[in-house]
Amino acid sequence: MALRAALPDVAFCTGEANSAMPAPTCASCHTARANLRRPRSGQALCGTCFCNAFEAEVLHTVLAGRLLPRGAVVAVGASGGKDSTVLAHVLRALAPQLDISLHLVAVDEGIGGYRDAALAAVRHQAARWELPLTVVAYEDLFGGWTMDAVARSTAGSGRSRSCCTFCGVLRRRALEEGARLVGATHIVTGHNADDMAETVLMNFLRGDAGRLARGGGLGSPGEGGALPRCRPLQLASQKEVVLYAHFRRLHYFSEECVYAPEAFRGHARDLLKRLEAARPSAVLDLVHSAERLALAPTARPPRPGACSRCGALASRALCQACALLDGLNRGLPRLAIGKGRRELEEEAPRGRRSVPAADALTAF
Ligand code: SF4
């Protein structure tokens, strides 16, 4: 069974005669046979009660965190992958209770052979769930640049991991633009607890105090005119997201992006898996540690201002998107990363507006 292969450390209750684990009765409905033990609590539940509990927990996250006010028009960042598929499905179920309306917004990064298939999955979901869908493309938003073109430009630059560095910044901007296009008041993304823990680890490993300081909490309130963003699945483990998709029979796109193997995130993911094997609470502990992190005044990054080129929130003269695009347009993509940005910023005021005003550009 594919699910067992995907989740080798989840205990499934089989009830088979020679099984090491005969299926107990569901601890919630006390009627059906349990199908699984919840990874964190060990509670034995049937598929239906597990999905109901999962939805109730997401509802609690949204209400307790005051993430989505009544009447919100919510742009759901839809990639066709498991997280955004589950997020859209859960929010669709909760929409009447929350009094919100949903609009799927998908970003076409221009990754041949990968994103086309993922977008087909999003279109299928939108049609099946009768949700409006808008697709925005890097090529249209960023002066003809696609991720494949960025990858060709950065090839041989000695920064093999830079594809995801560029993509993360541009995708955040593209999602903001798509959300504005459809009149959304809020943006939600499908990041789960494992994603957040990986991000916290990466920020620690890079010594990026600024992102650590901004990375906690369930979302951002929308500084500098940006739309408020939140992550309703931030406290849900990846395993439970996969289980929910399985028991709700959701179809999603599960192939990995062609540029993903280069990403630093993969190392953080491997490290986190080993940490979790030794300490099962490691994922949530990392998420909560970021929420509670307080930086000493001397370590705090300066208050962000406005990008001198496009007006978006920026902690330096140029926002990350303008800096990255500037480096690409000059044929010097490395200039936009790390210390190279200083050279760009000295010249920033004379550039033209390359992207519309949008948001702060941190990884999440
Ligand atoms: Fe973009 Fe990297 Fe994700 Fe691919 S793996 S979609 S390049 S961020």
User: Using 50, 70 and 90 to split pLDDT, how confident is the model at 142?
Assistant: very high
Q: Please, are residues 216 and 292 in contact by the beta-carbon 8 Å criterion?
A: yes
Q: From the alpha carbon of 256, which atom of ligand 1 is closest?
A: 5
| 3-state DSSP assignment of residue 314 | strand
DSSP assignment letter at 249: T
Which of 145, 154, 164 to mutate for ligand 1's pocket (most ligand atoms within 8 Å of CB)? Answer: 164
Residue whose Cα lies nearest atom 5 of ligand 1: it is: 260
Q: Is the pLDDT of residue 129 over 90?
A: yes
Ligand 1: centre distance to CA 357 (Å) = 23
> What is the rounded CA–CA span in Å between residue 351 and residue 363?
25
Mean pLDDT, residues 177-196 taken together: 96
Which of 82, 108, 147 to mutate for ligand 1's pocket (most ligand atoms within 8 Å of CB)? Answer: 147
Strand pairing category for 186-188 and 73-77 = parallel
Q: Please, are residues 154 and 163 in contact by the beta-carbon 8 Å criterion?
A: yes
Strand pairing category for 36-37 and 44-45 = antiparallel
Q: From the alpha carbon of 163, which atom of ligand 1 is closest?
A: 7
Q: Counting every residue, how long is the chain?
A: 364
User: Using 50, 70 and 90 to split pLDDT, how confident is the model at 192?
Assistant: very high
Residue whose Cα lies nearest atom 8 of ligand 1: it is: 164
Ligand 1 and 32: CB distance under 6 A: no
| Nearest residue to 86 (alpha-carbon basis) of 269, 198, 236 | 236
Q: Residue 94 to residues 50, 234, 263: CA-CA distances in angstroms?
A: 16, 17, 34
Choice between 5 and 320, residue whose per-residue pLDDT is larger: 320
Ligand 1: centre distance to CA 328 (Å) = 17
User: Using 50, 70 and 90 to split pLDDT, how confident is the model at 340?
Assistant: low
Q: From the alpha carbon of 164, which atom of ligand 1 is closest?
A: 2
Q: Is the pLDDT of residue 93 over 70?
A: yes
Residue whose Cα lies nearest atom 7 of ligand 1: it is: 164
Which pLDDT does position 4 carry in this prediction?
Answer: 67
Tell me the per-residue pLDDT of 262-313, one tens digit each, with 9 for 90 and over.
788 889 999 999 998 899 889 999 888 877 776 666 666 667 788 888 888 7
Ligand 1: centre distance to CA 160 (Å) = 13
On whether 76 is known to bind a ligand per the annotation, the reply is no
Which part of the chain has CATH 3.40.50.620? 64-292
Structure tokens at 241: 């997201």
Choice between 56 and 256, residue whose per-residue pLDDT is larger: 56
Ligand 1 and 167: CB distance under 6 A: yes
Q: From the alpha carbon of 260, which atom of ligand 1 is closest?
A: 5
Q: Please, are residues 335 and 344 in contact by the beta-carbon 8 Å criterion?
A: yes
CATH architecture type of domain 64-292: 3-Layer(aba) Sandwich (3.40)
Strand pairing category for 219-220 and 186-188 = unpaired
Question: How wide is the angle at C-alpha 31 spanned by C-alphas 26 and 35, nearest 5°?
Answer: 35
| 3-state DSSP assignment of residue 107 | strand
Ligand 1 and 164: CB distance under 6 A: yes
